[in-house]
Amino acid sequence: MPTATRTDVEVRSSHLRAFTLSSYDGLVRVALVPEQAVLLAGDRVEVTIRVGRGRSLEIVEPGGTVAYAMRGSAASWDVTVEVEDGGSLVWHGEPLVVSEGADVRRRTSIAVSGSARVALRETLVLGRSGQEPGTLVSRTDVHRDGAPVLIEELDAAVGLGPHRVLDQVLWLGGFETVADRPPQPPTATMALETGDRLHRWLGAETHASPISVSDCQSSPSEE
């Protein structure tokens, strides 16, 4: 199982290789790169991330992922994240394109503790250019100190209306950056009961989305 581990920061995956780009003063930067063609019929991709107390992790993906036609079969993509008190995760997620004929179950489970911070971008695209959309069910479970922050299940067949693209950034904890300001329409902001936020945009093309985590950088912690 490919892994990148540096000082209480760990990234593991069943189908992706984690390359450590840099590690300095508590801040680790990791690239997630597919080892093989994904997402194909029968694939069960798992990604597990842990950020230790007071540490910072930034994840980048060189490119997006395409779920190809599966001819009656299905695939899954499960992400499990744990960020301990004082830790920070910034994940620049690239699009998941669900091609016509694909059937994907996607799950993102996040557990944070204390003052942990997370900025996670997820982009879902229904169908490649000129195609009908594939089938996608995406579930998100977020807890802080064991209490629910966000529990959501999206069935793309009924949840996106006429839109082809869902782009969103989940902000947990305080990031004092330009990108942390309330976005302007047409982006919708969901203010969660905990004070955390979910910025979401629906549209036809990924390049039209105003959402970005590029202004949010995790800061190295003091030893």
Per-residue pLDDT at 22 exceeds 50: yes
Cα–Cα distance between 11 and 202 in angstroms, integer? 30
Quick one: the chain helix, strand, coil %, rounded to 5? 5, 50, 45
pLDDT at 177: 46
pLDDT tens-digit readout, 116-144: 999 999 999 998 888 889 999 999 999 99
**pTM of this structure:** 0.87
Mean pLDDT (whole number) for 33-49: 93
123 with 93: CB under 8 angstroms? yes
63 with 33: CB under 8 angstroms? no
Cα–Cα distance between 166 and 187 in angstroms, integer? 11
Cα–Cα distance between 166 and 168 in angstroms, integer? 7
Q: Which H, E and C letters describe 7-29, residue by residue?
A: CCEEEEECCEEEEEEEEECCEEE
pLDDT at 29: 95
pLDDT tens-digit readout, 160-190: 888 999 999 999 997 644 344 444 445 678 8
Say whether 189 sits in a helix, a strand or coil: strand
pLDDT at 223: 33
Beta bridge partners of 166: 124, 202
Cα–Cα distance between 119 and 134 in angstroms, integer? 27
pLDDT tens-digit readout, 50-107: 999 999 999 999 999 999 999 999 999 999 999 999 999 999 999 999 999 999 999 9
- Domain residue spans of the chain: 37-208
Peptide bond preceding 34 in cis form (omega within 30 of 0): no
Both tokens of 95, joined, read 């699009």
Per-residue pLDDT at 11 exceeds 60: yes
Peptide bond preceding 172 in cis form (omega within 30 of 0): no
pLDDT at 219: 41
pLDDT at 187: 64
Residue burial 36-58, b: 16+ Cβ < 10 Å; e: rest: eebbbbebebbbbbbbbebbbbb
Per-residue pLDDT at 155 exceeds 70: yes
What is the secondary structure of 71-87 as a DSSP string?
TT--EEEEEEEEE-TT-
pLDDT at 60: 95
